[in-house]
A and B are shown apart, each in its own frame.
Chain A
C-alpha cells in the first residue's frame, strides 16, 4: 500500500503516509447479563503533504490506487490553501527519514484465551460484585485493542508500531435513600499496554467483593470535612493531578495558542522554561516513552521523530515543554517527540505521551522520601484520597477542582475511617509547591488515562502516568451535600 501511494503521490516537496489498522473486541456483563459482544476492525490512511510552503492532510479508507491518489490530491489542495493563508511556513514541518520498530510487551495474547474462558472470568467477577440488595447495579468488562501503524515518507521514513492493550474493569453501584455511591476497580483506572497477563496483576476477579464492599461502606461514611487540611493522594488520583495540572499546561500547542478555542491555553509562558519554580524541590517529572508497558510507550511519534526520555521538571524547576518537532520549530524551544494522532483519520498534534512523577531517589536525602505509611505518619490532620471521580480545571490549567471516589481521614498520623464524596481544589501554580512528601520507588504505580481529549477536530487518546503517592500541605478540602 505504501508503494502504491509512492506511485501516485502528488507533485510536492514532502509527503508522509500513515497507515493504521485497528482491531478491537469488547465483552461486558451488567447485572450478570452479557451485553452485546462487539468486535471490529478499522483500516485507513492519513496522507500529509508539504507543497508551496503549505501543509495539508487527507484521510481515507479507500486504499485503492485511485483512492490514495484522490487523497493525495485533496491534501495538496489544502496545502496550497495553507501556503496562501498559513500560520507558519510549512518548510518547518519535520521531514522524517527515521527507520524504527516498536511492539508492546505481551506475555499472554488475548487471542490465546478462548471466548468461553473470557466469559467465565466475566461471570466470576460479576458474581463477586453482587454481594447484597443495596448493590443496585454492577458491571464487569474486558476488552482488547490491537493497533498496527506504519509511517512512511518521501524522505525514507519507515516506522512500524504494534500496540496491544487489554482493558478490564469493575463497577459497583450502591444506594441507600438519596445517597448513591459508585466504586471502580479491577483495572478500570489502571490501563497499560500488554496482554491477558495483566488481569491477575489487577485482581480482576479477586478484587470484585472488595469493590462492592467499598461502595456499601461509602453509604455509611460521613461526608468529607470542609476545611484546609493536609492531603495524601494515592497514585489512582495522582494520575489525574499530573495529567491536568502538569501535562496539559506544558503542551506547546497550548502555549502557542492553537487550542485557545477548545482545550484552552496555559498559565505557562515560554519565558518560564529553565527558571520557573513549578513545585517544591521534591517535584521531578519526566517525559518517558520507553517505560515498558506504559500506555503511550513507543519508539517514535506520528511526525516520525525518535522518542527519547526528557526531563520536564527537575527539583521543582520547569525545564522544557511537551511539543513535537513542528511546534518546537514554531516556538524556538526544545521539546519532546509527542506529536500524536488518535487514529488514521486525525492529524498529529502535541499530546502528552508518558508523563511520570519520579519517586524520591533511594540515594537522595531522606527528607521527603517515604513509604506510604511514613507519608501518612507525617500528617496530624488530613485526608487520603484515591480514584478520581470528577475533574474540572480552567482553560489556562490553573484553577482546578477534583473529586475522588473514596477518602480516609488521617488523624495524628494514622488512617481512620472512610469519608464519602471527598474533593479538593486549588491553583496548579501553588499546589505543587506544597508537595512535601513523595513515595519511594516501591510505591510507584504505572497507570494512565484513555480519554485525554483535545484538538480540532477532536481527538481522544491514551496517555500514561506513573507516580508514587504524594503528600501536600494545607489544601482546601470539601465534601458533598447541597
Chain B
C-alpha cells in the first residue's frame, strides 16, 4: 500500500505528463489556426474554434455493463469574415497537423467562394479585443474501468432489508472536454475540463425507483457507497403499496432535482433577449409587470470564481462571460441573456454565449433539510420530475410527470410511494403566491446530457415547498 507522500508524487507526475500532452494539443491547435490565418487575405478575419472530447462511457443495467466504450472526437469550426459578410464551416480533425491543415484549407476556400454570394450581415458581431485565457485541469484523469468496477461492487452488496444486490441502472461518463479559440485579431483561449459524472437510478418492483447523481474531479467510491446505502433504505419504503392519488391540488416539496426540471423550462426561451423582444418568452407576463414571482425568488447565471469552472470563460466570438448575470431579481424580471448576435441587433452588451443559461443558480432560503418533512406536513415529497413541456407558454404553464423517489407524506412522516402523476400548473403560481418556503441548502447538479458531446452545464438549486401543485392525470 502506498503512503500519502508517494501517492501525491505519483499524482503530480501524472499531472505533469498530462499537462505536457495538453500543452502539445494546445500548441498544435494554435499552429493549425496560425497556418490558416496565413492563408487569409489582409481584409479577411478568421476565427478558429476547437471543440474536442475524449470520453469513456459505461452503461449499466441490473448493476451489470450493458454497453461500454470510448469516444474520441475533435471538431474545428471556422468563421470567415470579409467586410460585413460572414460564413461558417466545420470539419472533424484527425490530430495530424498536415492532414488537418489541408482539410481546413479546403473549407476556407469553400467559405471564400460562398461569401461572394452572401449579403452584408447587419448583426455580425465579434470581439475586437484580443482576449486570452488558459485553463488546465487540476487533477489526473479518472480510471473509468476501475471506477465502474467500484460501482458494480458497491451495488452488488446485499442490503440490510433488500437481501440481494441493487438493480442499478445508469451511465458512467468521464474524460476530457477541450475548447479552444484563436483568431486573426489575436484571440487565444484554451480550456480543458477533466471530470466524471455518474448518473443512475435504483429500481424496486413495478415502476418505483430512486435517483442518484454524482459528479466531480476526483473519483472516490465512498460517496457512491453511502448514497447506495441510503437508496436501499428508500427502496424499502418504495416497496410499500403505492398510494394512488386522484387528480387535484396537493401541497408539495420539490427536491432540487425536481426544481431543475422547472428551471430548465424557464431556460427554454425564458431569458433569451431575442425571445423577450419578439414576445415569445414564457416570461412575457412577468416582463410586462402582469405577474410576479415571490420576492424570495432570485435566479442568476454564474461563472467566474463562483461558478464550477467547467465551462469556458469565452464565447465563440471572443467575448468574455461576466461572472454573474441576474435573471430574476427578487421576483421581478432582471437582465436578459445577450449573445453576440442579439447584442448587435438590439444594442445591448454581450453577457452570454447563447440565450440559454448554462450555470443557473437560485438563491437559497431558510428551510433547513431536517425541517422539510415537518414543514410539508401532509402532501407530496417529489424527488424528481420528468419530461416537462409547455402546456401554455403564454401563462408559463408547464406539464410534466413525477418519476423517481416521490412519496406521500402524512403529518411529517413518509407513508408510501406514489404512482407517477401528471402535473399541469403555472410557474407563476408555484414560484409565486403558492411558494411557502425555499430550502436553505442549494445542491450543485451537473448536467448528465451528452447529446452532441458531454455537457459541462450545471445548476445550483435549493428545494421548494409549495402550498399547492395541480395534478391532472
Contact = CB atoms under 8 A, between A and B. Distances in A.
B399 A258 contact: no
Contact of B420 (A55, A77, A394, A476): A394
Given A81-B145, A458-B450, A401 B94 contact: no
B201 A421 contact: no
A260 B450 contact: no
Contact of B450 (A421, A427, A456): A456
Nearest to A391: B389
B392 A262 contact: no
A392 B401 CA distance: 8
A453 B420 contact: no
B280 interface: yes
A71 interface: yes
Contacts of A479: 392
A60 interface: yes
Interface residues of B, number: 91
A424 to B, nearest CB: 11
Contact of A453 (B77, B403, B451): B451
Interface size class of A (residues with CB under 8 A): 35 or more
Given A175-B279, A178-B285, A261 B118 contact: no
Interface in B399-436: 399-401, 403, 420, 422, 424, 426, 428-429
A33 B121 contact: yes
Contact of B73 (A44, A78, A421): A44
Contacts of B169: 257-258, 260-261
A200 interface: no
B394 A43 contact: no
B428 A482 contact: yes
B110 A39 contact: yes
Contacts, number: 251
A386 interface: no
A402 B220 CA distance: 43
B88 A60 contact: no
Given A67-B95, A178-B288, A258-B61, A85 B391 contact: no
**Main SS at interface, chain B:** strand
B68 A78 contact: yes
Contacts of B66: 87, 258
Interface string B100-129: 000000010010001001110111000000
A89 B452 CA distance: 30
A481 B422 CA distance: 18
Contacts of A43: 92
A266 B18 CA distance: 44
B284 A180 contact: yes
A42 B392 CA distance: 39
Given A56-B68, A392-B399, A180 B87 contact: no
Interface in A70-93: 71, 74-75, 77-78, 81-82, 85-87
A346 B121 CA distance: 36
Interface in B213-261: none
B114 A86 contact: no
Contacts of B114: 37, 39, 115
Interface in A341-380: 345-347, 349
A115 B123 contact: no
A394 B472 CA distance: 13
Contact of B473 (A37, A401, A480): A401
A172 to B, nearest CB: 11
